[in-house]
Amino acid sequence: MRDFHNRISAVNAFSAATIATNTNTDGVTVDLQGFDSCEIIARTGAWTDGSYALQVLESDASGSGFAAAPASSVLGPSAAIGAANTVARIGYVGTKRYVRLRIVSTGTTSGASLSAVAALDRQRHTGGQAV
Please report, for the domain that includes residue 102, its CATH number: 2.60.120.230
Given a contact cutoff of 8 angstroms between Cβ atoms, the answer to whether 19 and 25 are in contact is yes
4 within a domain of the structure (yes/no): no
Would the pLDDT of 131 be above 50?
A: no
Closest CA to 14 of 55, 49, 42, 39: 42
pLDDT at 1: 63
Q: Does residue 69 fall inside a structural domain?
A: yes
14: nearest Cα among 35, 45, 48, 50: 45
Strand partners, 120: 9, 38
Query: How many independent structural domains does the chain possess?
Result: 1
How would residue 124 be classed by pLDDT, with cut points 50, 70 and 90?
low
Cβ neighbors of 18 (< 8 A, separation 6 or more) are: 46, 111, 112, 113, 114
Over residues 57-80, mean pLDDT: 92
What is the per-residue pLDDT across 94-111, written as a single tens digit (0 to 9) for each? Answer: 999 999 999 999 999 999
Residue 92 belongs to domain spanning? 9-125
At residue 129, the pLDDT reads: 43
Residues 6+ apart with CB under 8 A from 5: none
Decide if 3 is inside a domain. no
